[in-house]
Structure 1
Amino acid sequence: MGAGQIGGIATLLDIDFRNAAGFMGTQAEVSEAQFVVHFLSHALMFCMGTLIEAHVVLTPAICVFGERYKFEVYGGTHKFLEHAGISRTVQHLCIHKGYNHTMRWKTCASANLGLLVLSKQFSFHQRESGADYVVNRLRYGLTPTNTLRRVEDLHCRYYGWGSRRNGYLIPLSINLRRLDVHLLPPDQCTQMWNYDSQFLCIQQKPCKDDLGSVIECSGFAVGMMISRLVDRPCGVGFLDLSKHNKFLTCGVDDARDVIDHDAYMSFDFTTFTPPPTPSVITVPNSPITEH
């Protein structure tokens, strides 16, 4: 019997954790996967995210599409437990314009990518109170021209709690686990699982992953799990991030502008007396600004 909680919502699973389907790989060490964050959307969907900057999280668009209110992401921990790790509030969303959420336009690519802009940066220089380690980020920006070198890289892995391995889309495991993978040349991918060559081809084996799990190769983010289907074969559904460098680069640059803009627009009450009637009122659960 095992229990896990996030954001005040508990899950109780009657599962034998010593012999649960999909519990493969090894438990992640505290010195790895320090870029991993996780959250529960208002649609009660568990998703993982990856820190690509101190204030920017990469995650599938399906996890946050339609969100109107601010929510928390959790980092600094490998445990899916209440009060574990540290949290940050999501202040803004950036959804890829090519995200074809209705699937009505068959000629449009479903660029299932989203960026979360946090209200406060994570610290990359010291361990924050409540964190189990110093949080870090994952590099991005590999180009398709490096495909051969990427395929030959034997230091590729991804992490997860196993939420995509059951019908509830909630974690099966309390501790984050790692699975080492080997990338294959694109011509070895089965076409039915690799529409328009948008996905990575990896050796399929028993695994555990989550919506938003990222394949890391030598410190770079090369693919992200975007399928929420629980009956897909392991290894199917990792979007090739090298084909979306423009979105990632421009999104991060825009995120910096958003942070600067917010600071610029704030009132400095130390230099003048505020008016008796506030002209701006901030209420709890204010809508997220989408870009």
Structure 2
Amino acid sequence: MTTLVPHVPLPPDQDDGVRYAYGRDSSRRPDVPRGTTTELDWRSTTYPGTSRKVWIHVPAAYDPAEPAAVLIFQDGWWYLDPDGDVRGGIVLDNLVHRGDIPVTIGVFVDPGVLDAGERNRNAEYDAFDARYGTFLADEIVPEVRRRFAVSDDPDRWGIVGGSSGGNCAVTAAWHHPDRFRRVACFLSSFAQIPGGNPYPDLLRTTPPRPLRIFSQAGHRDLRWDQPDHNWLAENLRFAAALAEAGYDFRLVLGDGGHNPNHTGVLLPDALRWLFR
């Protein structure tokens, strides 16, 4: 089937002033019942000395007799906030109501805060190891399952993140492909992984994992015109390696900078594609 895409003029000045218009699935609709959201305070055993907020959003169509898919969002409130740029709960309500994705419980996890007050976000999100995925699989998901019926099928377990949360989502799935197989990563900060971006080499030298990956990059992402620590270049290298390794992936390249506007606009289509 051929899709006709309307013409949109490209801005000639190429600055960071580009913003994308939201589609119908990113706003509350009067015919769509609202899901319910539960807020938790969580102290982690995987990351001792940290606390965080977790929100569990359950669409109205959830039936405890039918185990639901689960989708974990990093930077929890930023992605859940109904007045923010991404509006994850609204998107889930709309897509589930229309049958575009299976009934999916959204789990919105804030990064940890140390008892001394410092944020633990970069330590958790940028590390290339199994620890954060283990935290989700061993602490957060069991708490969700204690309250709600969640599918055992890893093809119905997804993970979402942007910036450092984007490479965090990829890393959690990479180390735990038996759990997280649907990945959405937006403007990922591969450029600031300690020791450098490992994925281009890993993807070329490691047998493919059973992952489906939706990726977004921005023409004006951080250091887009610099020879090193270039967010745009590292996202393109990641996507090229996925293509060469034969992964089921999709790359969307936008004209914006390092902000979540395009992320929010793309989220409904990304979830439809991931759970197709």
**Is the TM value for this pair above 0.5?**
no
Bigger Rg over Cα: 1
Q: Larger helix proportion, structure 1 or 2?
A: 2
- Interval of TM-score (by shorter of Structure 1 and Structure 2): under 0.3
Normalized against structure 1, the TM-score is what?
A: 0.27
